[in-house]
Amino acid sequence: MRSLLNFLLRYKTLILFLILEAVALVMISSSHNYHQSVAYGAARNISGFVAKRIENGHSYFRLRQVNQELAAENLQLRRRIEKLETVHKPALTAVGDSASGIRYNYLSARVINNSVNKQKNFITLDRGSRHGVTTGMGVASSTGVVGVIVGVSRNYSVAMSLLNTDFKLSASIARNDYFGSLAWNGRNYRYAQLSEIPHHVVISEGDTIVTSGYSAIFPPGLMVGTLTGDLKKGGDFVTLKVLLSADFKKLTDVYLIGNLTRHEREAVEEEVTNE
């Protein structure tokens, strides 16, 4: 209390001046239309500025919730697309499992651990066997292919990242369907290399690279990246530099892809190969 009294006594002149200034402004604004409109305008500007900053703060703290909602919506859309693609069309034969025709199921997950600066990078997800995760499931984000599940516990799973020198992906050039093997060379985390593309294939910088669908893990047409310069020629093939569409330093929400007919396919392929 004494500190407050000392403060008031020390600054009494300034406080009195501010009070009188405020009274004068109120009297002027209330007695003249012009000053009144200026005062109201200034008040509206200040209140609008404060309200905008408060709303920006609320929006920032809701970003995680918004991301989760978008991930859930994307998951539902992918499931609907999968169902629509199994609808029978004239002159076409549906391919899928005998029960419903649906070949892939999808499960959302969140990244809880990730690395990009090693030769063999892995990603930990917050979904495990009790959620339906199994080894061999593909992992992708809304922007592109991420990796494949290699380890599962009850509540968690670990994916081999595309940024792992042991990872190989069958990918194709969307414009002409020529496919090759995409791998990461362990250097820049933003780029991978697409090899085994024949010399005669016409390519252009910016061409879209997607999954070929030749593996039993990923469906065809998932975004992988875009071609960007630096061609390496050797023998009958060229190696292309691919800018990955997924930024692995920003991974938060992903989805898992399960091929419902994978084991059947692998079994028949193994049977033929061993003959």
**Which residue among 10, 45, 61 closes a domain?**
61
Q: What is the pLDDT of residue 62?
A: 58
Same domain assignment for residues 220 and 148: yes
CB 122 within 8 A of CB 251: no
Q: What is the pLDDT of residue 262?
A: 80
Same domain assignment for residues 156 and 265: yes
Asked if residue 47 belongs to a domain, the reply is yes
Q: What is the pLDDT of residue 38?
A: 57
**DSSP-H helix ranges across 62-191:** 63-85
Asked if residue 88 belongs to a domain, the reply is no
Same domain assignment for residues 109 and 44: no
Same domain assignment for residues 253 and 133: yes
| Rounded to 5°, angle at Cα 103 from 251 and 134 | 55
Same domain assignment for residues 131 and 224: yes
Same domain assignment for residues 110 and 32: no
Paired tokens of 41: 């305008």
The CATH number linked to 263 is: 2.40.10.340
- pLDDT tens digit sequence for 244-253: 999 999 898 8
Same domain assignment for residues 39 and 174: no
Asked if residue 206 belongs to a domain, the reply is yes
Same domain assignment for residues 21 and 112: no
Paired tokens of 262: 């994978």
Asked if residue 94 belongs to a domain, the reply is no
Mean pLDDT of 18-35: 67
Q: How many domains does the chain have?
A: 2
- pLDDT tens digit sequence for 163-197: 999 999 999 999 999 999 999 999 999 999 999 99
Asked if residue 99 belongs to a domain, the reply is no
The better pLDDT of the pair 200, 230 is held by 200
Collapsing DSSP to helix, strand or coil, 44 comes out as helix
What is the average pLDDT value for the chain, to the nearest integer? 79
- Position 134 pLDDT exceeds 70: yes
- Position 89 pLDDT exceeds 60: no
Asked if residue 67 belongs to a domain, the reply is no
**Looking at the whole model, is its pTM more than 0.85?**
no
Same domain assignment for residues 39 and 141: no
Collapsing DSSP to helix, strand or coil, 29 comes out as helix
Dist CA 141 CA 134 (whole Å): 18
- pLDDT tens digit sequence for 54-71: 656 655 555 666 666 566
Closest C-alpha among 101, 110, 102, 109 to residue 79: 102
User: What is the distance between the terminal CA atoms of the chain, rounded to a whole angstrom?
Assistant: 96
Same domain assignment for residues 113 and 239: yes
CB 86 within 8 A of CB 96: yes
- pLDDT tens digit sequence for 142-168: 889 999 999 999 999 999 999 999 999
Full domain range(s) for residue 117: 104-273
Dist CA 108 CA 259 (whole Å): 15
Same domain assignment for residues 133 and 240: yes
Same domain assignment for residues 126 and 33: no
CB 219 within 8 A of CB 211: yes
Collapsing DSSP to helix, strand or coil, 43 comes out as helix
Paired tokens of 35: 């000053």
Asked if residue 179 belongs to a domain, the reply is yes
Asked if residue 75 belongs to a domain, the reply is no
